[in-house]
Structures are given as structure tokens and as C-alpha cells.
Structure 1
């Protein structure tokens, strides 16, 4: 299993490079192609919004038909779309190929989450490593894209197809392995889908997304102001946010094995409230403590929410993955323009104050969740759990 999890995690990183690559293209589209910021933002929207909305659709498809080939094919689509983005000066064509990349990302996540659940047999730690791959890929995208395009310009984007090809080859090795008996790729054990609990979980994930996007949108500017420094302070804060998130993802998997997913989720969001408040209010270098705590507390539930969604919908595992990894996760980006407008009217620190409400609402909703029986142990009587 370890080999398969490693391959899946690496493949996840290769795909999510293309989610992080689109924002990294913006400065080069502005400087080389003379795009306005509105036109450049439309390119980002083409990838992120379309990907988020379509992911549940692909989840429905993977629930109806077994399509292991979709995973490597979607990886190639994600990479080839970005690879072609710099080869044409036609704005409509650039928008179209970036949208194709977004479709590839959308197709990948529900199918890969389903396969990861089958391979890991619901092991929380193994699933956290799969989720970690995506976090690493997203964070590494600017480190890959910016130096490459700084040296070769937008004409160098074809080189960005390399991670997709490498990831597709690695993932094919996993899709050829037989799925474990009675895994998430099999039957639901006679259990009904619990749409009420899944709807609550989706709202929890949505508020988590709002908190994360709110902090990450304003963090670089806030850190720069608190430290009275240059862009290095903002870059350091963002790196800490991503690095702390990676640690939190793995920690969440380990804690869930001991205390349960729902209990860990509740505790994480309760701790996220003072953590986000720390980013908003802590002075000077102390802001980095708030950033580290925010990263850990917002990422501890990340992989746990994926398996919770799958266990709430045992008959629609692909749909659950599409929503928890796609629509609900990215919806937080919708609030970013509003927070930017508030920061213009007040200050970046003041604009973070309403963000504190997001983890508080996530915690309140998480208190209404129950711990579901894992699909793999459907025959085992459910474990009761006191609310945290």
C-alpha cells in the first residue's frame, strides 16, 4: 500500500501544480502580452471557477461508471492546457486552453479521491498523505513557473507539461492494481446515503475555504506592514502558511486514528478562531505565530473531511470527493474581491476581522456532525461519540 500511496500523492502534486500555475502566469501575461488586470483575472477565473463547478459532475460520472483511465487522461489535459497557454497571442484561445486545464483538474479529483480511498482502505494517515501531495503541488507551482518564465518568457510554457506526463505515468501503475475487496470502489454495504449530514459537512468545508482564502489573500500585505519590511516578509508568511498546512494535513490523519475524525475537526476549528484572530491582531513578528497556528488548524481537518464525505455518501463516493475537493473548497475564492474592497476602504488588518467568523461558524456546524461508520467496516456497529 505504501508504494501506491506514494505514487498517488506524487501524482496529486503533479496535478495541483496546474492550479497554482495559473495565478503565477498573471504577471507575465500583463508584462509580455499587455493584459489588463481584469483580462488576467478572467484567465484565472476560467481555470478556478469552471474547475470547481464541474468537479461534482465528474463525481457523478465516476459513481456510475468505473473509469480508471480518466485519472491519467485528466492529468494530461491539465498539463497540456497550461503548456499551450503561452504559445498564442490570441486571448480567446488562451482563455480556452486554460479552461481545458481546469476541466482536467476537475476530472482528476473525484476519480483520484475514489481510487485513493480504495487503495488506502480508509486509513486516515494514508489519506492525509494523498491530500498532502495536492498541497505541496499547489505551493510549489510559483517556484516552478516563475523562474522558468522569467528565463524563457511565455514561450517556455510547453515545458510545464513535464509534471503532467510524469504524474500520468506514475498513476497508471496504481490504476492497474486490483482494488481491495469491499473498498470504496465497491458496494455501500447496504447503507443509505446521509444527505443531511453531507450538506452540513459541505457547509463546514465552505466556511473553512472562506477562512483560508481570506487569510491567504491578505497575508502578504499584512506581514509586510507588521514587519515594516519588503516583500520578503510577505513571502516568508505565505511559505509558513503552506508549510504549516502540509504539517497540519499529516497531523490530522494521525490524530483522527486516535480520537476520531469529527472530534478532531471540531477541535481544529475551535482552535482556528483564536489563530485567525492572531493573524488579524498580533503585532510585529508575533504575527508569524498566528500564521503557523492558522495553517495547522485549518489543515488538520482537510483530508478528514474527504473521507467523512465519502462515508456519509457510501453509494456516491465520487460525488462526495467532487464536492469536498472541488466546489466547497474553492468557493472561498468568491469572497476574495469583497475582502480586497474592504481592505481598500479600511486596512488589510481590519479586513481580516470578519474572517474570524468563518472558523467559528465551521466549528458550530461541526458540532452537529456525527461520526459515520467507515465504508470498509459497514458491518461494524456505529460508535457513539460525545460532542466536543
Structure 2
């Protein structure tokens, strides 16, 4: 499991790098909010569109090389984006990075489930790896961008190369299994899985909206420095790591469905408080709480999705870890247009009510 947790950290670091870099593209290259949101859309399209096909493939074949190759593509695309001279090339490289992320998640989710067995807590470690990667991105990227500009993205290519090599060696030592399922009996249940996907997408809209615009809100509305704006985003993502880990432990005690519903319900007041807090310093504490609430159901959604599709763990992981999360990013350009018209505070206001839709859908999820 440790290989998959580490690889997930590296993979989702590059997903986190994109929203962490958006304020600096706005400030350094004078991109509009809508144009900057288009960069997030590029990474989203790359990481979402290939997911269903890749999930089907990894459920049929081992494809042990796919996850390492995805890490390489994710790191190269995101790392070179800051060096690209024009918007079109930046957009294309971030699209490539997203495709790399899409290649990683289905194979990694399939094999991590096999390593985790039936424990939601163990699966939460793998899911938390992605949250840690998101957390590390602004923590490392913001200081580098402040010092050297967006061209500093190139500094973050080596981790992808190193982790891809380590993971490839690990995969070569594995015995190629002929079974792709994780050994859980029972038929696939598509209607509940599609409803769960809707919960994951709605939750993703709230999370990605905050990740994309929280730093800008701190800078533009609360008068914080760009560095403190990056710290606010980091605080939200630290809360996300804590919430992901807590969600798996809670689900092992009280069940997956109550955990999902509690997380969706708790996100609403937490996001309202984040929107209303007047002081950027005090807001850092609130950002941690909001991140924990929004991410409490994350690992549980992954585990429950694979329980709904026991014969297709790669497809389930590709959708819940990749497609559903990335699909939330499809709404970022709409949020960017809203920010251009009314400011980042309008985005945070809209995001406060989004988890209500996830809660309503979660109430209809059946027991696995």
C-alpha cells in the first residue's frame, strides 16, 4: 500500500499545482479570471474524458505500465506549462498533464483496493495520499512562484520522474494477476453507482471552486498578500487531508452511508463560515475546518463505489477518484465568469449552497 500512497501523493500534486498557479498566471501574465479558469478546464478535460475508457481497460488487462506512464505525463505537462510562452501552449501542456492523471487513477485504484482489502480506513490512506499531494502543491509552489515566477513549475518535474521509476520497478516485481476484481462477490449495481457519482461530482464542484478561488478571495477581498493567499489554500487542503483520513476511520465504525451524509451536511455551515469570516488570519482556522468537512466523504465514496461495482474496481476508482473529481472542474469556467463579473466573493457565496445537492442525492444511496 505504501507505494500507492506515495504515488498518489505525487500524481495529485500536479492536479493541485494547476489551481495553485492560477493566481500567479493572473498576476504575472494579466490573464482574466475566465482565461485563468480555462487553464483549470484544460487539466479537467484531460483528466476526465479518458477515465471511462481507461477504467474499462484496466479491468480487463493488468496494464502494469499505465500508472508509471501517467505519472511521467502528469509531471512533464504541468512542469513545462510555466515555461510555455503563449496561452495556447500552456493550455495544451496542462491538458497533457490531466491525461497523465487520468492514466494513473484507474490502475492505482484497482491495485490499492486489492492491498486495502475490505477496510475503508485502509482505503482512506490511499485517498488521503491524493489530498496530501493537493496540500503540498500550494505549500511548495507559492514560495517558488513568489521567488521565480511561474517558470518555477519546471522545478517540480523530477519528483514525477523518480516516482514513476520506483513505481515501475514495483510493478515489475508484482505477479501479474489474471483476476482484475478484488475478490468481492456479487453483481455490479449501476443505478446506485451512478447516483454515488452524482454525489461525488457535486462535492467536487464545491471543493474545486474553493481551491481555485480561495487564494484570490484572500488577496482581492481580504487584503492578504499573495503568500498569505497561498497559505489559506494550504490550510484548506490540510483540512482536506485530515477529513479524508477521519472519514475512513468513521466509516469503519458507523458505516459508509452515515459518514457520507454527515460530511455533506457539515460542509454547508463550514463553507458559510469561510465566506463570512472577516479576518484573513482567523480565516486560516476556518479554512482547515471547511477543508475537513468537504473532504470527509472522499475516501468513503471511493470505497462505496467499488462495492457497488465489485467486478470493476478499476472503472469504479477511475470514476470516483478521477472522473467525478475532474468533472467538477468543468464548472470552473462558469465560476470564473461569475468572478469576472462580481468578484471572487460571489464564487464563495455560490459554493456555500452546492453541498446541499450532494446531501439530497446521498439520502437515496442504498446499502452496499
- Smaller-chain TM-score bracket: 0.7 to 0.9
Change (3 A) 1:367 1:134: same
Q: Of 63, 69, 74, which aligns to 1:67?
A: 63
Deviation per residue, 1:277-317 (Å, 9 max, x gap): 22233444664454333211111111110111111111221
Change (3 A) 1:346 1:56: same
Gaps of 5+ in 2: none
Q: Please, what TM-score do these two structures have when normalized by structure 2?
A: 0.85
Distance 2:204 2:26 in 1: 28
Change (3 A) 1:263 1:86: closer
Distance 1:223 1:259 in 2: 37
1:171 is matched with which residue?
167
Change (3 A) 1:131 1:336: same
Q: Is the 8 A contact 2:47 2:99 kept in 1?
A: yes
Q: Please, what TM-score do these two structures have when normalized by structure 1?
A: 0.81
Distance 1:102 1:282 in 2: 34
Deviation per residue, 1:351-374 (Å, 9 max, x gap): 4333232212211211111231xx
Q: Is the 8 A contact 1:15 1:167 kept in 2?
A: no
Mapped pair 1:369 → 2:365: yes
Gaps of 5+ in 1: 373-388
Q: Of 40, 47, 53, which aligns to 1:51?
A: 47
Q: Of 274, 292, 297, which aligns to 1:301?
A: 297
Partner SS for 1:368:
coil
Q: Is the 8 A contact 1:125 1:257 kept in 2?
A: yes
Distance 2:223 2:37 in 1: 29
Matches within 5 A, 1:95-114: 95-114=91-110
Mapped pair 1:129 → 2:145: no
Higher relative contact order (CA 8 A, sep 6+): 2
1:262 is matched with which residue?
257
Q: Is the 8 A contact 1:227 1:233 kept in 2?
A: no
Q: Of 269, 276, 288, which aligns to 2:271?
A: 276
Q: Is the 8 A contact 2:216 2:344 kept in 1?
A: yes
- Greater shift, 123-132 or 335-344, is seen at 335-344
1:12 is matched with which residue?
8
1:357 is matched with which residue?
353
Q: Is the 8 A contact 2:181 2:312 kept in 1?
A: no
Partner SS for 2:64:
coil
Distance 2:226 2:143 in 1: 17
Distance 1:355 1:26 in 2: 19
Distance 1:212 1:339 in 2: 12
Deviation per residue, 1:209-255 (Å, 9 max, x gap): 12212333443354457755544553343222111111111111111
- In the alignment of these two chains, the number of paired residues is 365
Residue 61 (structure 1) shift: 1.0
Distance 1:351 1:88 in 2: 29
Q: Is the 8 A contact 1:260 1:371 kept in 2?
A: no
Q: CA RMSD in A?
A: 3.2
- Greater shift, 292-301 or 222-231, is seen at 222-231
Distance 2:89 2:210 in 1: 33
Matches within 5 A, 1:304-343: 304-343=300-339
1:386 is matched with which residue?
none
2:156 is matched with which residue?
160
Distance 2:43 2:233 in 1: 22
- Greater shift, 241-250 or 216-225, is seen at 216-225
Residue 337 (structure 1) shift: 3.5
Q: Is the 8 A contact 1:119 1:179 kept in 2?
A: no
Q: Is the 8 A contact 1:193 1:314 kept in 2?
A: yes
Residue 172 (structure 1) shift: 3.2
Q: Is the 8 A contact 1:56 1:326 kept in 2?
A: no
Residue 125 (structure 1) shift: 1.8
Bigger Rg over Cα: 1
